[in-house]
């Protein structure tokens, strides 16, 4: 058996313990360092992981030549600094999502990883979840026909964040899934929301996107909801797909649709076939994700597609936040500038608005 | 017992038969005329209503001095012309929603009703549904605390319309409910959507509104959905309310919320109390609505508030259609002009977008 | 076009109006008589059916040579007398379920129909419902593999009956469906229940049956339940089927099961495949049922299988009521006698009950 | 702070690891021994609990004078022997449910615990779950009025057991909950079921019970079900309660019922009030249960009520298994003998079964 990949885990707050648990269970990994600024918290985790060393100073981890890789689960504002230091120390680096607090910083991290020839991977766990992957397979196979639009809700009562808005907290989940499914970022997006609880931190937002080819998506993000819902509907010309994370049947495929006639007046018909809930593999997404990180670190696979997607997620999030701050103006995802709105049907006369007859 | 109100029913297509059924069951009403352009359809309904006269010509109904009131359930494009003729003939007039295909025409109808001293009422049935009324009572009593936002979905597989967009077909339902609950129209709104099936007729739309005081609402409208859903969530500082039309428990009130601390760093807390599904009165909304029309026609009650709301619904719908056609620009509901976007937090620096450290 | 079948409808209480509505809409039927003991009720229905004659006396209907068939929807205690008179007058006769208040009387009706060469049909509407028929097709095709057991709940808050127990009111629905699906009545059954509200009228009952071949079924019947549920699960070796009447997806087929190993210690495995909700035809069961009655009356089809099933339903219901009254003793369905219990595993020693070691 | 209670955990198969996890997290407990017959399994758990000693021999644990208590999670057939040895060695003893494979053995264990003055507790975890406790409080307060009946389903696809029937595996859960709620065991019960997969091991059973005072309960137990359901409905004269374990709202209280009139013919009325889902405390049942064991072991509290309930659970389970084996005969819970069936309404004539009029 090969020598395990030696890993330092940085940050043991909300999400870090999950990463630690999965890494500790992976026979291909040796958790060599636990690092957190809170000494008491460190002590608590040390008890369950007696073979790992603990430190409150990142430098100790980075200076250890026996450490192959670093896994970072700290607040967003620190992602760039910590990941840049890790890459500079020659460590393969995993950063929790989103990769960085701006597209410029995210791009810079990618560039540095390239120069250092080290793996940089961002923790978009949903891309490793069986329902998200099953939906991607169906979309790739064209099973839905032409995709018309997507509508998503990701809401719950908290957990509230006081460092970033709901757009930065929850948006990257939906943005990563839509990018993974549709293969390209939207051209423009708009976001409207509200900072209901604390001035300056939006706790609800509605983001509307237009993808190349005309696919429209609407994403509702909120920390203020009576119950948890994480549900995305994708409507195509042949099938409609409902993905509900955490449901007993997370993917449901509806063979339903409307056909219009082609000549003269429409001879409308409705198609209503069977509904199928495909059986999905039960693998834990986090284990699949970290397994991919470990494999790629060992094989020198730079995971270019994953990195490019992580950068696009930051571009979308940044654009959504900017639109939100400016009252919903259209923002171009490519460069974050305010965009010219794309008219829906510019050639058609605005027939519905008539003047009174007299 | 009083002499019944004599009524002519105009239009027996999709919705008219429902109005006819309720009117025929009302002991205070005598259905005197059935009017439709389709003679065969007329014949079919005549068999079940042998005491009513039938005609394919509206003039016959309007010229009959024994007819007190006219109930119109025809395509939107005919609402203005038919209702104007009915008022000119001195009949109390009920028009299916929306009142008219433009705010200008709707306003003109209201003015003519005023000059003719006749009742003009628009069929916003949801305003008479027990769950919508129960929610209004709770909102009026302040039971939800400060209202933060609303999020609504009104989707189904069809029924597809080839004369108007989904915004004109389904939007008035949500717009009327939000107006009834919040007491005033939004200042601006934006709409994004797509004409997936037929060029020029949007079959999906997402409408985002900002109300005076900052309440935000997002409404999803679609004829392309795998299953029927008519659900509105209203989130307030004290309670959250979920209204799902057609559900076994159409109103659910959740005693849930988040409180932030006030001094220095927030001491966050979550409130999670009981959830209540209030018992609701089982009266049929359509019977209540037409009962109100009959009562108001007899008592000379002009139902000013109802008319004003119906006009505001048309303003909102027209603004939403205009925004949709122009790619989602903000449109002022008051006058339908393109509005300056309201910045979310104009005073705050855009701290989240930093430059790379270099 | 053929002359329509002329029909008299007897009884316009709870269910009769539904039969009347469907018959009135059927172009192959002319409703010739409305008959009820309540003159005011008769008057109300006469207004909507002006071409039908009304009477409070059954003889008027039976004496009319122009009346081909009689449809009876009266209390159970009158079924035998009215149906026997109708057959004696040479009318094809439809009786609401259950056919008669005892197996002896039901058998006698069948014999009289045979002697009179007139159709006798019992209103087991569920046998004409698309989900029940779809399940039967799957069972006939062996799609479920070996059927192991069925479990059913038919509960609601009322409607309470003060003339018969819940076993006589709701039991025939489940009994008819199980007979239709499994093709034969159970050998024995037991029923336990309670007359919670009024002495002598059971308002909740649990009926357990053993079918030839070993299939077991449990049926819960109640007028005292917080919400309506009509759900039957059928578990087979290959598939499991859930039928929920009134649900958006009334039939769901689960490809799930457990396989045991064959040699030595079991090598257990679980099968978990896709779940399918087949699309079902939307025809109204009542229209299909009465359509069958009309067709059979015209063609001289005696519907022997339907009659035999209706008789078996009465046998099962009578046996269940008898078991209920005797505290749950096993009753043979064939002749209603108290049966010897069938031992579950007579050959095996009762190993689980050991004595203390010392 | 007090010295922690030192504990040996016996059995690390299906359930033992859960007990171990909770004990390890309890600051009042020191896990001193891990004991299992499988050395490899022992090794796996030892890695996560480096301070515990491991052994494959129970005697090592029992001979250690520094061990205060023993927690047993082994197959049912070993419960008596292991628990008796533990008590004989003077250890406080916790045994997974059910306490023993027969009422005689369970009674003997209780007697031995009494003689040894050591705590004997059985792991009926549901008695410590917040919804079960909330329902008990409501029942104790009379909030449901007169209780009429209960109906329960505890079904899932496996996990299949090859050592005991579904009655011994799942029955104790429902039996313990009903005993806890109703305060006394049923007088008699009947069970019908089937060994569909393997001869001699029932995998589905329907158990019907009659409690003193007339309350009836039906419990469905199955390892063969398309989806997990653990749901109990309790119907009372004033309220109806639905307990669904694992649901977002595990307790729902429906203010619904039927009232009959008192004089002459019943003037029937339906009561339909609000439905309430009370907020429940989120404490983990297993932690509450083991916390109770630790507290009682330290304070010398013999938990008599808990022990008596555990014995009654075994009595009920044994009676259910006996009835099942004998084809559903009524079995007295008190002494396990075949009971005389309690007639439902012995005084009333069997009016529904009439002879044909001839």
Cβ atoms within 10 Å, residue C282: 7
Say whether D327 and C341 touch across the interface (CB within 8 A): yes
| DSSP helix/strand/coil, C213 | coil
Closest CA of chain C from B189, distance in Å = 34
Single pTM value for the model: 0.93
DSSP C345: S
Residues of A in contact with B317 (CB under 8 A): none
At a CB cut-off of 8 Å and minimum separation 6, what does B322 contact? Answer: A350, A353, B331, B336
Return per-residue pLDDT of chain B as tens, 358 residues.
679 999 999 999 999 999 999 999 999 999 999 999 999 999 999 988 888 999 999 999 999 999 999 999 999 999 999 999 999 999 999 999 999 999 999 999 999 999 999 999 999 999 999 999 999 999 999 999 999 999 999 999 999 998 999 999 999 999 999 999 999 999 999 999 999 998 889 999 999 999 999 999 999 999 999 999 999 999 999 999 999 999 999 999 999 999 987 665 557 899 999 999 999 998 999 999 999 999 999 999 999 999 999 999 999 999 999 999 999 999 999 988 888 766 654 333 333 333 333 3
Q: What is the CA radius of gyration of chain A?
A: 23
- What ipTM, to 2 d.p.? 0.92
CB-hemisphere CA count at 13 Å for A267? 4
Share of chain A above pLDDT 90, in %: 86
Q: What angle is formed at CA D16 by the lines to CA D11 and CA D20, rounded to 5 degrees?
A: 110
Residue of B210, B266, B353 for testing the chain A interface, max A β-carbons within 10 Å: B353
Write out the two tokens for D326: 């004998």
Determine the Cα–Cα distance for residues A114 and A123; give it in Å rounded to an integer. Answer: 18
- CB-based contact (8 Å) between A199 and chain D? no
Chain C hits for A274, Cβ within 8 Å: 276-279
**Residues shown for chain A:** 358
Q: Does C162 touch chain A (CB under 8 A)?
A: no
The three state secondary structure string of chain A is CCCCEEEEEECCCCCHHHHHHHHHHCCCEEEEEEECCCHHHHHHHHHHCCCCEEECCHHHHHHCCCCCEEEECCCHHHHHHHHHHHHHCCCEEEEECCCCCCHHHHHHHHHHHHHHCCCEEEECHHHHCHHHHHHHHHHHCCCCCCEEEEEEEEECCCCCCCCCCHHHHHHHHHHHHHHHHHCCCCCEEEEEEECCCECCECCEEEEEEECCCCCEEEEEEECCCCCCEEEEEEEECCCEEEEECCCCCCEEEEEEEEECCCCCCCCCEEEEEEEEECCCCCCCHHHHHHHHHHHHHHHCCCCHHHHHHHHHHHHHHHHHHHHHHCCCCCEECCCCCECCCCCCCCCCCCCCCCCCCC
Spatial distance between the Cα atoms of B164 and B168, rounded to a whole number of angstroms: 6
* CB < 8 Å to D50, chain A: 50
**Which of A22, A13, A19, A60 lies closest to A41 in space, CA to CA?**
A13
In this predicted model, what pLDDT tens digit does every residue of C124-144 receive, in sequence order? Answer: 999 999 999 999 999 999 999
* DSSP β-bridge partners for residue D196: none
Strand C269-277 relative to strand C331-332, pairing: unpaired
- For residue D352, pLDDT over 50 is answered with no
Q: Which residue of C has its CA nearest to B227?
A: C248
Cα–Cα dist D138/D183, whole Å? 13
Q: Which of A286, C182, A16, C142 is nearest to A31 (CA)?
A: A16
Closest CB from C48, C227, C248 relative to B48: C48
**Closest CA relative to residue B92, chosen from B158, B29, B176, B40:** B29
Q: Does B240 touch chain A (CB under 8 A)?
A: yes
Nearest Cβ partner for C327 among D265, D342, D352? D342
Give the A:D interface size as CB pairs under 8 Å: 5
Do residues B150 and B235 make contact, with C-beta atoms less than 8 angstroms apart?
yes
Copy the structure tokens of residue B72. 């119109």
C-alpha count within 13 angstroms, C-beta hemisphere, residue D29: 26
Classify residue D28 as left (phi > 0), alpha (psi -120 to 50) or beta: alpha
Among the partner-chain residues B249, B274, B279, the one whose CB lies closest to the CB of D278 is B274
Query: In this predicted structure, what is the pLDDT of residue B191?
Result: 98
Give the DSSP letter of residue B75.
Answer: -
Spatial contact of A176 and A124, defined as CB atoms under 8 Å apart? yes
Q: What is the pLDDT of residues B92-111, one digit of tens each?
A: 999 999 999 999 999 999 99
Selection from D17, D5, D92 nearest residue D49 by Cα: D17
Residue B200 is nearest to which of A222, A258, A348, comparing CB atoms?
A348
Q: Is A248 an interface residue toward D (CB < 8 Å)?
A: yes
B292/B127 Cα distance (integer angstroms):
11
For residue B33, which of B69, B5, B61 has the smallest C-alpha distance? B61
Any chain B CB within 8 A of the CB of A227? Answer: yes
- Token pair for D247: 């649901």
pLDDT digits (tens, 9 = 90+) for B208-236: 999 999 999 999 999 999 999 999 999 99
- Among candidates A48, A50, A248 on the partner chain, residue whose Cβ is nearest the Cβ of D227: A248
Distance CA D5, CA B168 (A): 71
How far are the Cα atoms of A267, A269, B182 from residue A261, in angstroms, in the given order?
4, 8, 42
Q: Residues A95-142: pLDDT tens digits?
A: 999 999 999 999 999 999 999 999 999 999 999 999 999 999 999 999
Provide the pLDDT for residue D266. Answer: 56
* pLDDT tens-place string over residues A187-236: 999 999 999 998 889 999 999 999 999 999 999 999 999 999 999 999 99
């Amino acid at each position: 058996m090969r020598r395990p990949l030696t890993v330092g885990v940085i940050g043991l707050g909300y999400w870090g313990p999950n990463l630690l648990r999965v890494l500790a269970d992976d026979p291909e990994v040796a958790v060599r360092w636990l690092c957190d600024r809170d000494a008491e918290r460190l002590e608590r985790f040390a008890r369950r992981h007696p073979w790992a060393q603990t430190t409150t100073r990142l430098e100790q981890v980075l200076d250890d030549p026996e450490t192959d890789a670093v896994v970072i689960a700290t607040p967003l504002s620190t992602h760039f600094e910590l990941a840049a230091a890790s890459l500079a120390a020659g460590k393969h680096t995993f950063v929790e999502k989103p990769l960085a607090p701006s597209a410029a910083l995210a791009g810079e991290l990618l560039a540095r990883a390239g120069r250092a020839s080290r793996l940089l991977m961002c923790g978009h766990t949903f891309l490793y979840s069986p329902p998200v992957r099953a939906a991607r397979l169906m979309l790739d196979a064209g099973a839905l026909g032409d995709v018309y639009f997507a509508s998503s809700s990701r809401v719950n009562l908290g957990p509230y964040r006081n460092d970033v808005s709901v757009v930065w907290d929850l948006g990257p989940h939906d943005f990563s899934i839509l990018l993974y499914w549709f293969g390209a970022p939207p051209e423009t997006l708009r976001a409207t929301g509200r900072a209901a609880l604390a001035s300056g931190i939006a706790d609800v937002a509605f983001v509307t996107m237009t993808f190349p080819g005309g696919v429209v998506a609407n994403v509702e993000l909120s920390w203020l909801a009576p119950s948890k819902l994480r549900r995305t509907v994708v409507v195509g010309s042949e099938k409609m797909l409902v993905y509900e994370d955490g449901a007993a049947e997370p993917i449901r495929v509806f063979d339903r649709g409307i056909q219009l006639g082609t000549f003269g007046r429409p001879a409308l018909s409705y198609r209503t076939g069977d509904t199928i809930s495909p059986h999905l593999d039960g693998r834990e997404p986090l284990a699949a994700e970290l397994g991919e990180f470990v494999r790629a670190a060992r094989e020198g696979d730079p995971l270019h597609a994953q990195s490019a997607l992580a950068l696009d997620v930051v571009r979308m999030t940044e654009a959504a936040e900017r639109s939100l701050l400016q009252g919903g103006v259209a923002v171009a995802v490519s460069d974050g500038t305010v965009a010219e709105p794309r008219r829906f049907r510019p050639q058609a006369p605005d027939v519905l608005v008539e003047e009174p007859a007299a």
